[in-house]
Structure 1
Amino acid sequence: MLASSNLPIVGHRYFFFIITFLILYLSISYIISCFPHIDNKITNKKQISHNDKILSSNSHSCLGPESNEERYMTYLPHSGFHNQRNMLENAVFLSWVLNRTLIMPPIIFTKKTIIPHRPYNILYSMITGNMTKNVITCKKKGVEDKKCMFTQLDWEELMDFKFIKKYIRYIHREDQNFNVNELYSFLNITKPESQVFTLAEETRYDFQFYDDENITEVSDDQFDHLIHLCSLQKRKEKLIHFGSIYHLNRFNLKFKENIDFLKSVRENMIINHPVLLDIGDKISEQLGGLGSYIGVHLRLGDMGFDKKFGQKAEENVDYITKSLIEDISSTPNELEEIEVSNSNFVSTSTMIEAEKCLQSISPEQRNFPIIYLASDKPRNDRRLKKFLREFPCVFMLFSNFEKYLDQLKRVKNPRDGALLFRYFVPFVDGIVAARGNKFIGTPESTFSEYVTRLHEHWVGS
C-alpha cells in the first residue's frame, strides 16, 4: 500500500525532470545556432592568436592613443641586401600605417658571413655580438682588413628617398652595435618596461599583419599567427621594437588604401646612386642603349651556402635558354635595331661593343638579339656553356666591361670610409640587365625580383 501511494509523486517528478531536460537542451541548441563561426578551427595555430603578445582589435576606426608625444618604431636587419631591402619596405609601410617615426637601421654589408634570419632573442644576440666585436676590430685593424667584416651604409646613400620623405618621418640609426640601451638613451626612454613594446618572434615567421577584422586565417602557411594592425596603432608605448619583419607576404591586406600604399613603397624603392647609374648608362650604351638588348639574370649558386640555387642551376639555365628561344621565334623583333655594315668587318674605336659582335658573326646569326647576362659566376663556369652556345652575342660585366668599373673603386662609405666596390658591383650588373627591352630572371631569386622592378621603372612592363 505504501508503494502504491507514492506512484503519483514519482510520476510527477519524472515528468518534471523530462520537461527541465528538454528546456535546457533547446536553450543550448539555440545559443549554439547563434554563433555558427565557433568550431574546431579555433584551436588551429593558423588562426588569430589569443596569447598575451598579440592583441586583436575588432575596430575599423583604428584610432591610436591621443598624445602629443612622438612615437617610434624600429626592427632588426639580417641576411643579404635584398632581404634587408624587403624589410625596409615593410618598415616604411608600418611607419605610415602606425603613424610612428621609423628609426631606420642601416644596410649591413658583409665581406663573408651574413647574419641569418632567426627568432628575436637569437637574432638580437647575434647582431649585437657581431657588431660590437666588429666595431672594436675595425678600429684596431682598419676598415679594409679582412677581419673587419661589416660596414653599415645609410639607405639614403643608395636609394631614391623622395617618396619616403613625402609620407613618413624617419631617423637613421647610428649606434653601430644595435644595443637597445643606446637606443633607449637616444630616445630618452628611462622606463623601458612601460615605454617599450617588444614584438618578439618566437619562430622565424611567427606572425603576419592584417587589416580587416573579417580575415581569420593567415594567407601564407609559413606564418603561425595574425596580428591586427589596429592593435599596434593603439599601443601607447613610446617605442615598438620589432625583430625581423622580412617576407614578401608579411602583410595580409584587404583595404585598398593599404594595398596601394605598400605597392607604391616597393615601386619607388629605386637605386639612385649617381656613380652606379652613370656606369650602368655607359655600359648600356655599348649594347645599343635603353631597350636595344635583352637582360638576363642567371643565379647559379653552389653546393655550399648557396645550395638552393646550386641544385637547380642547370634546370634554371635550361629554362631561361628555352624561354629566350621561344620568345625570339614567336614574337617580332621589338628591339632597337643596330645598323650593321655588309662590308668586310673592320673594328673602329667609335664602334659600340654590340656592333662589333654583330659584325663578327654570320648574317644568319644576326637575327639573335644582343644579350646582357648578369650572374654570380664568371663566363667560364661550365654550367653556362649551353647558354653561351645558343646565343652568339652575350656580354658579361667582367668579361666585357671591367674598365667601366674604375670609378666605382674610389667610392667610399661616408660613415666609416670603407670602400664599397665589392658590395656595389652586383648593383651595376642589375642596372644594366634592367635597361634592356626585356628582362628574364632566375625563379625565386630576390635579385631577379628587384631587377624586374627596375626594368618596369625604367623601361616599362
Structure 2
Amino acid sequence: MLSSLRAFLILFKFNGYLASPNVGPSFGKCLAVGMNSPNPYVQHRGQPRNRQTAKLVILLLLLALACLTCFGTAYYLFKTSYETRNLGLGRAIYADTPTYQVDVSTHVNGPRVVQSTERFLAYLPHSGFHNQRIAFENALVLARILGRTLIVPPIRLGNKPIPYYPFDRLSRQLALADKTGLKHCADVPSRLALPSECLDYYDSTLLPWNSLVDLTPVKTKQDLLPRWNFSEEWFSEELGITDDEEIRYFRDQTPYQYRLVDNGGGANDRTWYTEDIAIDFLAQQTQRLLVFGTLFGSTRLKLEVEAHQMIRKEIRQAMTIAHPVLDDISQSIFRALGGAYLAIHLRASETKFRKSSQVNAQALWWTLLHCWYNATADEILELEEQMQGTSTQPRTLSGTTYLSTPSARQCKPLDDVEKYALASASRSKCRQSTAHPSRLSVMGLNTPFLYIATDLNNSRHQPLLDRFRALFPCVVDISDFSQYLNPLDHTINPMDGVPLRTHLFPFLDALVAAKATRVVGTKGSTFSYYIEDVLWRRFHNVPIKQRG
C-alpha cells in the first residue's frame, strides 16, 4: 500500500509540475537554461503558490476518503463474513435429519403478559444437569399443588457447573454467570485469540427445557414463565412486583435445610433434612411470589396424599429426553446392535465416583452375572480366578458383600424371551471367538452385546473395564458408532452460538443404554437413576420408579 501511495505522489508531481497543460513541450529545457542564465529577460515560469496548496489539500482529502473507504469495507467484510459463517452453520443444523429448531421465542420476544393477580413460585438452580432436573421436577410438583405459575430457569450445561451455595451467594453467582453483552464472543474466528471477556464463553451454555424435554403435557395443566437472567431487577421488571412485602424468601443456608411435606412431617422420619415446611402452610401464603433456594433432592418432597403422588408421577414421566437428533442417532445404534443388548452405565471420572470406581465397577460386574445370569457367588468367584490373567483389577467386592445388598436380593434373572432376543442379535452381528472361554460355564454359547456408557475417556484402554471386555466377545461403546454421529457436529445453540456436541454426548450415551434389554447403573449417581428409573422404563412401557 505504501509503494502504491509513493508512485501516486510521484505521478502527481510529474503531471503537476512538468506536464502542465499550460506549458509547452520545450518548457523543461527553457526552465533549465533560464535558471542558469544571467539574461534578465528570461522569466522563471512557475505555478502560483496558492494553486499548489489547493492541489495538495485535494490530494490529502482524496487519500483520507480512500483510507476510510478501505477501512469501512474491511470492517464490513470482517463482520459479515463471520455472521454469514455462523448463520450458514445454523442453517446446516440437522441438514441430514428432520428439521429441528430450539424454541427461543421467549428469549427473543420477551415473556408473555403477566396478570396482576397471578401468583408465582421461583427457585435457584445449581450443579449438573440431573441435579437441575430433579429440582425442576420438584418445583413443577410444588407449583401445581399450590396453583402458582412456576418461574423456570434455563438448563445450564457445561464442564464447570455452578455448585450449591447458601441462598444469597447462589443468587449472586447465577447473576454473574449471565452472558448478557457477550454475544460478540461467538463471532470471533477460531484462528484468533479470544478477548479476555470471552475466555469462559464456551464453558457453558443455556438452553430452554423444552429443547431437551417435551413439556407439552405439563403445560396443559400448569403455567410456566421462563426466566433468562438472575438480576435483582428481574422480579420488578418482568413481574411488576416492586413491593418487598409481596415476596416471601426461603433463604436456605445448607443444601438439606428444608423438606416440604404434605402430612405434617416430623423429626423422627427425617434423614437428611433439618426443617420441615408444610405444603398447607405454603398454600396459605398471600404473597405474590415465593422464592426458594435449592429444590434439589429426590426426597425433598415427602408426599403422602395420593393426588400429590400422582402429580409427581405424571411430571417424572414427562422428563424423558425428547430431542430429534439424539432420538434418531440412538435409534440407529439400537438397530445396529440388533435391537437387543445389555448395558451398563459407569460413572468414574468425577472425584466423587473416582474414589469408589473399583467398588462400583465390581458391583456392575456382579449384577450382570448374578442378577441377570443367575450365577452363584461360587461360580462368579471361580470365573474371576480363571480370568485373573486378563484383568489387572484387584477383587474389591466379595460375593458375600454384594449378595447382601438390596439390589442383589431384588434382582431378576433374564427370562427366556430376553435370552432368545439377545442370542439372536449376537449371532447375527457378533463374533464369539474373542471372549474368555470360561464364560461358557455361566453365559452359554451366545453371549450378547454389552454396551458400556461411561464418562471415562478412551474407555477401550481403561483397566477398570478389562473384566467386561474379557468376558464379553462384543463390548461396544459410543466410539464404535462414529458413522452415526455427524449430525451432532452441526448442533449449535442459536442463542449464544455455542456448539452443543460435547454437551449432548452424555444424553446420547444414556439413550442408547436405556434402550438396552437390561441396564444397570452406578450406585449414588442421579444420572444412572434417571436412566434406570425413567428412561429405561419409559422405553420398555414399564411404570417409572419414584424415589422420595
TM-score, normalization: structure 2? 0.64
1:259 and 1:283 mapped to 2: Cα distance? 35
Q: Which residue is 2:452 aligned to?
A: 373
The reply to whether residue 147 of structure 1 matches residue 200 of structure 2 is yes
Q: Which moved more, 1:381-390 or 1:276-285?
A: 381-390
Deviation at 1:141, TM superposition (A): 5.8
2:494 to 414, 423, 439: 414
Whether the 8 Å CA contact 2:156–2:205 is kept in 1: the answer is yes
Q: Could you say which residue in structure 2 is the equivalent of 1:396?
A: 477
Amino acid of the residue matched to residue 125 of structure 1? R
Instruction: Give, as a single letter, the amino acid of the residue that structure 2 aligns with 1:393.
Output: C
Structure 1 counterpart of 2:167, from 88, 112, 120: 120
Aligned to 2:531: 451
- The Cα offsets for residues 382-412 of structure 1, whole Å up to 9 and x where unpaired, read as 21112211211111001x1122111011112
Q: CA deviation at 1:140?
A: 4.1
1:283-304 deviation digits (Å, cap 9, x = unpaired): 0001111xx1112101112xxx
Give 1:208-357 correspondences, 5 Å limit. Answer: 208-213=259-264, 215-217=265-267, 219-289=269-339, 292-301=340-349, 306-330=350-374, 331=413, 332-333=415-416, 334-337=418-421, 355-357=428-430
Q: Any residues of structure 2 matched to 1:122-201 within 5 Å, and which?
A: 122-131=169-178, 134-137=179-182, 139-140=184-185, 142=187, 147-148=200-201, 149-175=203-229, 178-191=230-243, 193-201=244-252
Deviates more, 1:134-143 or 1:315-324: 134-143
Aligned residues: 370
* Alignment equivalent of 1:205, drawn from 252, 256, 261: 256
Alignment-derived partner of residue 389 in structure 2: none
Contact 2:338 2:429 in 1 (8 A): no
Q: How much is the aligned-residue C-alpha RMSD, in angstroms?
A: 2.4
Cα gap change, 1:258 to 1:204, in 2 (>3 Å): same
Aligned-pair CA distance for 1:335: 3.9
- Seen in structure 2, the aligned counterparts of structure 1 residues 141 and 251 have a Cα distance that, compared at 3 Å, is same
The structural deviation recorded for 1:460 is 3.9
Change (3 A) 1:354 1:311: farther
Q: Within 1, Cα distance between the matches of 2:423 and 2:471?
A: 22
One-letter identity of the residue aligned with 2:528 = S
Question: Equivalent residue of 2:143, what SS?
Answer: helix
Matched, 1:437 2:490: no
Query: Partner residue of 1:41?
Result: none
Following superposition, the deviation at residue 451 of structure 1 comes to: 0.8
Partner Cα separation in structure 1 for residue 518 and residue 469 of structure 2: 18
Alpha-carbon separation, structure 2, partners of 1:242 and 1:385: 46
CA distance in 1, matches of 2:487, 2:185: 28
Partner of 1:37: none
Deviations 1:16-39 (A, max 9, x none): xxxxxxxxxxxxxxxxxxxxxxxx
SS of corresponding position for 2:267 = coil
CA drift of 1:151 comes to 1.2
| Cα pair distance change 1:231/1:68, threshold 3 Å | farther
Pairwise CA distance, 1:307 = 2.0
Q: Distance in 1 between matches of 2:422 and 2:257?
A: 53
Deviation at 1:268, TM superposition (A): 1.9
Structure 2 Cα separation of the partners of residues 394 and 446 of structure 1: 24
SS of aligned partner of 1:309: helix
TM-score (norm 1): 0.75
Distance (Å, rounded) in 2 between the aligned partners of 1:369 and 1:410: 33
Cα distance 1:335–1:280, how it changes in 2: closer, same or farther (>3 A)?
A: farther
The unaligned stretches of length 5 or more in structure 2 are 1-114, 375-412, 543-548
* Structure 2 Cα separation of the partners of residues 251 and 274 of structure 1: 32
3-state SS in 2 of match to 1:257: helix
Match of 1:5 in 2: none
CA contact (8 A) 1:297 1:375 kept: yes
Deviations 1:36-62 (A, max 9, x none): xxxxxxxxxxxxxxxxxxxxxxxxxxx
CA distance in 2, matches of 1:165, 1:218: 37
The alignment partner of 1:392 has SS state of coil
Shift of 1:324: 0.7
1-structure distance, mates of 2:531, 2:373:
25
Q: Indicate conservation of the 8 Å contact 2:433/2:473, yes or no.
A: no
Distance 1:150 1:406 in 2: 22
Q: Which residue of 1 aligns with 2:21?
A: none
Instruction: For residue 372 of structure 1, report the CA deviation from its aligned partner.
Output: 1.0
Q: What SS is found at the alignment partner of 1:295?
A: strand
3-state SS of paired residue (2:180): helix
Deviation at 1:80, TM superposition (A): 0.3
1:416 CA drift (Å): 2.2
DSSP-derived class of the 2:132 partner: helix
**1:75 alignment counterpart:** 123
Q: Is the 8 A contact 2:186 2:496 kept in 1?
A: no
Mapped to 1, the partners of 2:422 and 2:278 lie a distance apart of 55
The one-character-per-residue Cα deviations of 1:126-153 (angstroms, maximum 9, x if unpaired) are 211232xx43445346598652032110
Counterparts of 1:69 and 1:170, CA distance in 2: 15
Higher-Rg structure is 2
Write the letter of the residue equivalent to 1:379: R
String of CA shifts for 1:220-251, please: whole Å, max 9, x gaps: 32211010111211211111111111100101
Q: Is the 8 A contact 2:345 2:513 kept in 1?
A: yes
Post-superposition shift, 1:358?
3.2
Counterpart residue type for residue 322 of structure 1: W
Q: Which runs of 5+ in 1 are unaligned?
A: 1-66, 341-351
Displacement after TM superposition at 1:359 (Å)? 5.9
* Amino acid aligned to 1:102: L
Counterparts of 1:448 and 1:354, CA distance in 2: 29
Question: 1:435, CA displacement in angstroms?
Answer: 0.6
8 A contact 1:358–1:366 mirrored in 2: no
In the other structure, the counterpart of 2:102 is none
Deviation at 1:172, TM superposition (A): 1.6
Selected match of 2:140 from 92, 95, 99: 92
d(CA) in 2 for partners of 1:417, 1:404? 23
What residue identity is the alignment partner of 1:260?
Answer: M
Q: Secondary structure at the match of 1:174?
A: coil
Aligned to 2:157: 109
Distance 1:262 1:115, change over 3 A: same
1:122 CA displacement = 1.6
Q: What residue in structure 2 maps to residue 55 of structure 1?
A: none
Q: Give, in whole Å, the separation in 2 of the partners of 1:118 and 1:311.
A: 24
Identify, as 1 or 2, the structure richer in helix: 2
